[in-house]
């Protein structure tokens, strides 16, 4: 088939700006699409933490004029760079007023007051950028609420646009909890008309809900696992938008994220003290000692080490971990945690560290190198998430022979296979109820297995390290999704004439 022109709009992208897994996906998927022959480009903000010099960015001539409804035109400079190790162009929007700040979305746990304008701007700029760079997208690919206005614009203000009007749109939902819910007046900044402020449009509880707009308007939708694609249609996981998702279920698919195995490979990882492989695990012992030393824990080989890396927010189940942690630490175990998030958790787990300095290690903050070391050095990796659209760390853990202990939800359920005692199959430990007892019991099961079933541990580690979640597979499914969107947008006849089937 002919190649597609794809414009991906997102608020995060590795290695330029990252808060969570969204950045990993946006930083890797385009490279695989490019390998497949597509012309894919990314647009994102030039946050002040992105240093143009470090990434060799170049300022394009001219300015981008971005209409912002009632606020009139806004102007921004556009810088161009490449995704490292590829020819994929990334366009950075330079707007001091919106992006010249420390955080991506917030500072000191308080979201910026003008996040509506900041991300409506990003979405609208994505619609205008093609003119400046002379690129006619076949598909706009938006991610999460930050760019959910892209499909809305495409169906309204840009429907008849000569350059982009024929394009299809794909919205990938990485998280239903965060929706971009703003005051009604945000409609005036979108400038699409109040007729869209309805139950069957952007209105939700008398607010302008950008994600809801995207869910209605995108040509097709996906999320990052099949499990979450089902869950997000239920009241328990839909955060009030499950009805909208159900209404669009015929156009919704789940595509599990892949792993960037160039970055996450214990055989070559430069962040860890010793490399190791499935056939020679000796380096993993050194990695364990490295983590124990880093956290000031006794350097014991004969104790199971549990790791956790992630945003310390309720989504990740840190509240049930907080409830279970004293019981867990009463066992002969060590636990280390790396993350930052809700302030209560920093204090709470800080106290736990003071109480159990020999058993519990804590690093509050963001540290990529340390996250690799914890993945490599731990025996088990804990993810007790309340919900998890995909989750990346359990997949990294498998590759590092670090057995995941997960709540069976969303992508965690889809990517981890429960240990089966009879025939030694599986690669991790699962629990279902989202409560401290279930978590504690499952940690207990893992501890028992570690001390008493060395045969089973070896089998599980072997199974885990053999498992792969490749981006080749996921990117092929995105290609399929783009074609599906285009067939729907253009009609099958036009699609076949233009793209050859």
Binding site for ligand GLC (CB under 6 A): 20-22, 25, 174-175, 224, 257, 388-392, 411
Residue 199: CB partners within 8 Å, gap ≥ 6?
Answer: none
The H or E element containing residue 222 is: strand 220-223
**Site membership for ligand ADP, residue 227 (CB under 6 A):** no
The one of ligand ADP, ligand GLC, none whose footprint includes residue 368, by CB under 5 to 8 A per kind, is ligand ADP
* Separation between Cα atoms, residue 243 and residue 119, nearest integer Å: 25
* Separation between Cα atoms, residue 171 and residue 180, nearest integer Å: 14
Q: Compute CA distances 19 → 15, 24, 309, 344, 346, whole Å.
A: 11, 9, 13, 19, 18
List binders of ligand ADP among 15-34 (CB under 6 A).
20-22, 24
Q: Which of 227, 256, 189 is nearest to 21 (CA)?
A: 256
**Site membership for ligand ADP, residue 105 (CB under 6 A):** no
Which of 115, 225, 378, 393 lies at the binding interface for ligand ADP (CB under 6 A)?
393
Residues 416/406, Cβ–Cβ less than 8 Å: yes
Closest CB to ligand ADP among residues 310, 384: 310
The one of ligand GLC, ligand ADP, none whose footprint includes residue 338, by CB under 5 to 8 A per kind, is ligand ADP
The one of ligand GLC, ligand ADP, none whose footprint includes residue 371, by CB under 5 to 8 A per kind, is ligand ADP
Which of 292, 371, 397, 402 lies at the binding interface for ligand ADP (CB under 6 A)?
371
**Site membership for ligand ADP, residue 260 (CB under 6 A):** no
Ramachandran category for residue 239: left, alpha or beta (phi over 0 → left; psi -120 to 50 → alpha)? left
Which of 311, 346, 453, 488 lies at the binding interface for ligand ADP (CB under 6 A)?
311
Residues 378/291, Cβ–Cβ less than 8 Å: yes
Which of 338, 438, 447, 457 lies at the binding interface for ligand ADP (CB under 6 A)?
338
Q: Which of 208, 204, 202 is nearest to 186 (CA)?
A: 208
**Residue 33, token pair as written in the block:** 């699409």
The one of ligand ADP, ligand GLC, none whose footprint includes residue 33, by CB under 5 to 8 A per kind, is none
Peptide bond into 28 cis (omega under 30): no
Residue 10: CB partners within 8 Å, gap ≥ 6?
Answer: 22, 26, 42, 43, 44, 142, 143, 144, 146, 147
Give the 3-state secondary structure of residue 171: strand
The one of ligand GLC, ligand ADP, none whose footprint includes residue 25, by CB under 5 to 8 A per kind, is ligand GLC
Pick the piece of the chain touching ligand ADP (CB under 6 A) from 180-188, 234-242, 306-314, 468-476. Answer: 306-314
Closest CB to ligand ADP among residues 338, 362: 338
Closest CB to ligand GLC among residues 145, 360: 145
The one of ligand GLC, ligand ADP, none whose footprint includes residue 117, by CB under 5 to 8 A per kind, is none
**Site membership for ligand ADP, residue 391 (CB under 6 A):** yes
Pick the piece of the chain touching ligand ADP (CB under 6 A) from 267-275, 285-293, 327-335, 363-371. Answer: 363-371
Residues 131/447, Cβ–Cβ less than 8 Å: no
List the Cα angle 426/428/432 in 5-degree steps. Answer: 105
Closest CB to ligand GLC among residues 328, 481: 481
**Site membership for ligand ADP, residue 109 (CB under 6 A):** no
Any idea which residue has 């209404």 for tokens?
A: 247
* Separation between Cα atoms, residue 220 and residue 253, nearest integer Å: 8
* Separation between Cα atoms, residue 45 and residue 300, nearest integer Å: 46
**Site membership for ligand ADP, residue 428 (CB under 6 A):** no
Closest CB to ligand GLC among residues 32, 360: 32
Pick the piece of the chain touching ligand ADP (CB under 6 A) from 101-109, 158-166, 208-216, 385-393. Answer: 385-393
Q: Which residue sits closest to ligand GLC, CB atoms considered?
A: 21
List the Cα angle 258/259/260 in 5-degree steps. Answer: 125
Closest CB to ligand GLC among residues 172, 334: 172
**Shortest CB 162 distance to ligand ADP, Å:** 38
The one of ligand ADP, ligand GLC, none whose footprint includes residue 340, by CB under 5 to 8 A per kind, is ligand ADP
Closest CB to ligand ADP among residues 22, 42: 22
Which of 130, 266, 310, 377 lies at the binding interface for ligand ADP (CB under 6 A)?
310
Distance of CA 389 to the CA centre of its chain: 8
DSSP 13: B
Sheet arrangement for strand 380-383? 360-364, 334-341, 305-312, 380-383, 403-407, 429-431
388 class by beta-carbon count within 10 Å (0-12 exposed, 13-18 middle, 19+ buried):
buried
Closest CB to ligand ADP among residues 197, 360: 360
Residues 123/142, Cβ–Cβ less than 8 Å: yes
**Shortest CB 305 distance to ligand ADP, Å:** 17
The one of ligand ADP, ligand GLC, none whose footprint includes residue 27, by CB under 5 to 8 A per kind, is none
**Site membership for ligand ADP, residue 309 (CB under 6 A):** yes
Which of 68, 273, 286, 340 lies at the binding interface for ligand ADP (CB under 6 A)?
340
Closest CB to ligand GLC among residues 179, 449: 179
Distance of CA 292 to the CA centre of its chain: 29
Beta bridge partners of 448: none
Pick the piece of the chain touching ligand ADP (CB under 6 A) from 75-83, 146-154, 287-295, 304-312. Answer: 304-312
Alpha helix positions (H), 83-225: 96-99, 115-133, 149-155, 186-190, 210-217
Binding residues vs ligand ADP (CB under 6 A): 20-22, 24, 309-311, 338-340, 366-368, 371, 390-393
């Amino acid at each position: 088939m002919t190649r597609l022109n794809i414009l991906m709009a997102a608020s995060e992208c590795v290695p330029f700006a990252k808060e969570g897994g969204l950045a990993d996906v946006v930083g890797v998927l385009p490279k695989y699409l490019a390998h497949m022959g597509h012309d894919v480009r990314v647009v994102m903000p030039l946050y002040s933490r992105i240093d143009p010099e470090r990434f060799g960015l170049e300022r394009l001539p001219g300015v981008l004029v971005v209409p912002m409804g009632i606020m009139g035109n806004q102007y921004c400079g556009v810088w161009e760079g490449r995704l490292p190790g590829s020819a994929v162009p990334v366009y950075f929007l330079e707007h001091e007023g919106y992006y010249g700040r420390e955080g991506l979305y917030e500072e000191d746990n308080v979201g910026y007051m003008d996040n509506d304008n900041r991300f409506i701007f990003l979405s609208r700029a994505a619609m205008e950028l093609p003119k400046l760079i002379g690129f006619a997208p076949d598909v706009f690919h938006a991610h999460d609420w930050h760019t959910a206005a892209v499909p809305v614009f495409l169906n309204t203000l840009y429907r008849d646009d000569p350059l982009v009007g024929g394009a299809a749109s794909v919205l990938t939902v990485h998280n239903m909890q965060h929706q971009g819910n703003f005051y009604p007046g945000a409609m005036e900044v979108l400038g699409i008309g109040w007729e869209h402020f309805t139950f069957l449009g952007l209105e939700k509880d008398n607010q302008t809900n950008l994600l809801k707009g995207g869910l209605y308007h995108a040509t097709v939708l996906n999320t990052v696992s099949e499990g979450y694609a089902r869950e997000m249609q239920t009241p328990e996981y839909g955060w009030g938008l499950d009805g909208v998702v159900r209404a669009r279920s015929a156009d919704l698919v789940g595509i599990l994220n892949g792993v960037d195995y160039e970055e996450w490979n214990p055989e070559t990882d430069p962040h860890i003290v010793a490399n190791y492989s499935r056939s020679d695990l000796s380096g993993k012992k050194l990695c364990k000692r490295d983590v124990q030393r880093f956290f000031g824990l006794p350097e014991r080989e004969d104790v199971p080490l549990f790791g956790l890396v992630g945003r310390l927010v309720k989504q990740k189940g840190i509240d049930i971990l907080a409830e279970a942690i004293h019981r867990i630490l009463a066992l002969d175990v060590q636990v280390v945690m790396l993350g930052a998030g809700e302030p209560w958790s920093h204090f709470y787990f800080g106290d736990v560290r003071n109480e159990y300095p020999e058993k519990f290690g804590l690093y509050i903050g963001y540290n990529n190198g340390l996250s690799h070391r914890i993945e490599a050095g731990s025996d088990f990796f804990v993810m007790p998430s309340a919900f998890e659209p995909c989750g990346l760390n359990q997949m990294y853990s498998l590759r590092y022979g670090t057995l995941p202990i997960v709540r069976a939800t969303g992508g965690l359920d889809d990517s981890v296979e429960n240990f089966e005692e009879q025939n030694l199959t599986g690669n991790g430990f699962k629990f279902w109820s989202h409560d401290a007892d279930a978590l504690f019991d499952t940690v207990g099961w893992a501890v028992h297995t570690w001390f008493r079933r060395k045969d089973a541990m070896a089998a599980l580690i072997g199974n885990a390290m053999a498992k792969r979640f490749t981006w080749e597979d996921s990117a092929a499914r995105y290609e399929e999704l783009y074609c599906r969107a285009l067939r729907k947008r253009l009609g099958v006849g036009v699609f076949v004439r233009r793209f050859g089937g």
